[in-house]
Chain A
Amino acid sequence: MGALLKMTQIETKLLLRDPATAIMVVALPLFLMTIFSLMPGFNEPFDGFGGESVVDTFIPGVTTVVVLSVLGLSVMPVYLATYRERGVLRRLAVSPASPWLLLAAQLLVNAMLAIAGVALMTLFAALFLDVSPPGNPGGFALAFLLATSTALAIGTLIGSLASNSKSATAIGLAVLFPLLFLAGVWSPVDMLPGTLSTIGAATPLGAGLAAIRATWAGAPRSQYTCC
């Protein structure tokens, strides 16, 4: 337990010392929220979203999913593959540490970063952009944690398969963009053509975005459990 705490502390420090990543995770959602709230019409009631505005329903969910999937599918696998490429994993392999120790620390650090990024985004949007916070906070937290775990799980797989940082970046992006598209980040999943919409709803990020959007809008549990 002491070792896990120490490893997590150090991985946190290392992540914060690499300011590009930390700034991106914190600044990207604020930037996206601001841009979208300035878009003409996004603050107006929209028929497609049952009379709610786009900024109040669609955008927070999309921003949340973009943040957690960039962290899970790009940042973490590239970190792990860089460790492998540089020999950091080899050095650790000849110590008594179990490989789980580093993986657990990486998962914790990235989950914390995702939570921080999304919490800040929610606060910022509520204070400065007049976006209502999640209508079903418990449900939102659950949906968010499940979606984050899913993205991190896929990222762990990529990080374990990629032999170096270049291939991790390539695989990560090759998985990230189709998944974001199918999740309906660019256009809501229910507006995708028939088959794509069915596939999209079944992808991890598609299901995640649906649950996150629904709980942000305040739907009770019965309405966002599909099937």
Chain B
Amino acid sequence: MPIIEVEGLTKRYGDHTALRDVSFSVEEGQIFGVLGRNGAGKTTTVECIEGLRRADSGRISVNGLDPTRHSAELSSTLGVQLQDGALPDNMKVWEALDLYSSLYPTPLNWRELLEEWGLAEKRNARFGKLSGGQKQRLFIALALVGDPRVAILDELTTGLDPQARRDTWSLVERIRDRGVTVLLITHFMDEAERLCDRIAVFDKGTVAAVGSPDELMGRAGPRQRVSFVPSLPISDEDLNGLLGVEAVVRDGDQVTLHGSSDLLQAVTTSLARREIVPVGLSVENTGLEEAFLALTGEERSR
């Protein structure tokens, strides 16, 4: 049974329809991605789930609770990291954890969280003096201090440098490994592809597609592109007969094969058997980004 169910959510601001018939469900223990550009309706949807906003119509159930009617019970099962949340600049790290742990009925030991999220050295530092990455880790610790069933992480890595982003990704996996379901809101394709078990692709206030990254990429088209110039001629039929090949494109001598992600191995083995050398072999994995563009009907940038 899904831990989060969203059905037919609609939200209007005046003439502007922010959400139109948004539906998806999240299974317990997953990292579920809410992926889309800025303004696609991600944050509005999540704010409805958090109970910060009320949808015009539709139904939301989180752990069996309706956010609009049971906001008090709901907030103790949800751990939220907000895109635009903050703490007073003069509040110290340990004070924030101490305070927030006192707000929940069954809090975790915040001293252990301090250690676990690498904040022990910064326990007496003031919020205003923390780096971006340290603030994010503090927000994650605050989101977890109430021992939630679901953690909602909104644009967690926006504004972080590449190294800090990668570090944060492993933190997200650690949250799931604790058994907490994660709702991850992001506009980074690589982040969603790398972390999420399932993804809802948002586009202009609607859900364009839901599925695992592989499913989405599969739905959108071939997942690996292998290009080479064969040292001896080879027919299209022979190429099409290879395992995993879905399309053959010729450009002069150059052959480009589109297919599943294990394409390369099948091609090289088969060519070797025919004693054909693939000259100038190049392989490209077509990632979620391409799938996203196809699913949201956007012009390909190339």
| A→B interface (CB under 8 Å) | 2-3, 6-7, 10, 13-14, 17-18, 83, 86-88, 90-91, 93-98, 101
Contact = CB atoms under 8 A, between A and B. Distances in A.
Interface string B54-78: 0000000000000000001001101
A2 B102 contact: yes
Contacts of B24: none
Interface in B125-176: 142, 146
Contacts of B80: 94
For the residues of A in contact with B, the DSSP-based class is: helix
Contact of B146 (A83, A88, A96): A96
Interface in B97-126: 98-100, 102-105
Contacts of B51: 94
Contacts of B87: 88, 91
B95 interface: yes
Contact of A90 (B52, B91, B104, B146): B52
Nearest to B86: A87
Contacts, number: 63
A90 B95 contact: no
B148 to A, nearest CB: 11
A6 B98 contact: yes
Given A10-B99, A96-B104, A87 B84 contact: yes
A91 B102 contact: no
A94 B142 CA distance: 11
B297 interface: no
Contacts of B88: 14, 83, 86, 88
Contacts of B90: 13-14, 17-18
A88 B52 contact: no
A83 to B, nearest CB: 7
B85 A90 contact: yes
Interface of B: 50-52, 72, 75-76, 78, 80, 82, 84-88, 90-91, 95, 98-100, 102-105, 142, 146
B85 A95 contact: no
B82 A95 contact: no
Contacts of B102: 2-3, 6-7
B76 A96 contact: yes
Contacts of A88: 85-88
B99 A91 contact: no
B146 A95 contact: yes
Contact of A97 (B52, B78, B84, B103): B103
A42 to B, nearest CB: 39
Q: Which 6 A-B pairs have the closest CB atoms?
A: A91-B85, A87-B86, A94-B80, A17-B90, A96-B75, A97-B103
25 contacts: A3-B102, A3-B103, A6-B98, A6-B99, A6-B102, A7-B102, A10-B99, A14-B90, A14-B91, A18-B90, A83-B88, A86-B86, A88-B87, A90-B82, A90-B86, A91-B85, A91-B86, A94-B50, A95-B75, A95-B100, A95-B146, A96-B72, A96-B75, A96-B76, A96-B146
Contacts of B52: 90, 93-94
A142 to B, nearest CB: 33
Given A7-B99, A88-B85, A90-B82, 9 more contacts: A7-B102, A13-B90, A91-B87, A91-B142, A94-B51, A94-B52, A96-B76, A96-B103, A98-B72
B84 A13 contact: no
Nearest to B105: A96
Nearest to B72: A96
Contacts of B78: 94
Contacts of A6: 98-99, 102
Nearest to A17: B90
A91 B52 CA distance: 11
Nearest to A2: B102
Contacts of A7: 99, 102
B67 to A, nearest CB: 11
Contacts of A3: 102-103
Contacts of A18: 90
A163 to B, nearest CB: 14
**Interface-centre pick from A6, A87, A90, A91 (highest chain B CB count, 10 A):** A91
B82 A91 contact: yes
A168 to B, nearest CB: 15
With most chain A CB atoms within 10 A of its CB, the pick from B50, B84, B95, B103 is B103
A6 to B, nearest CB: 5
A96 B51 CA distance: 11
Contacts of A96: 72, 75-76, 103-105, 146
A93 to B, nearest CB: 6
B75 A94 contact: yes
A2 B95 CA distance: 14
